[in-house]
Amino acid sequence: MTTSQKHRDLVAEPMGDKPVGCLAGIGEVLAKKLEDKGFDKAYVVLGQFLVLKKDEDLFREWLKDTCGANAKQSRDCFGCLREWCDAFL
């Protein structure tokens, strides 16, 4: 699987206070929808990822329901968060 530059940038270092748009698969439109629902930082989406016990199906369904992410966007975001967790948790 090839990864995007956003993916590589996120998993290269601690998450800190990065905006939600830094997550792979989350562009401007999805970022705005997530921000409007209170998911303004990457770490807030990470929290939801962890609440869902890192389950791919549950997380991707949540992302679709929350901001309208398509299959590729939700897959990219899931992969990015999973790899970040593998590196930092």
Q: String of b and e for 2-34 (b: at least 16 CB within 10 Å)?
A: eeeebbeebbeeebeebebbbbbbbeeebbebb
pLDDT at 34 over 70: yes
C-beta of residue 10 within 8 angstroms of C-beta of residue 22: yes
Give the model's confidence band at 1: pLDDT under 50 very low, under 70 low, under 90 confident, else very high.
Answer: low
pLDDT one-digit tens code per residue, 3-13: 889 999 988 99
Q: Delineate the domains of the chain, giving CATH numbers in brackets.
A: 5-88 (1.10.150.40)
Tell me the C-alpha distance between 86 and 46, whole Å.
13
Averaged pLDDT score across all residues of the chain: 95
pLDDT (average), residues 32-51: 98
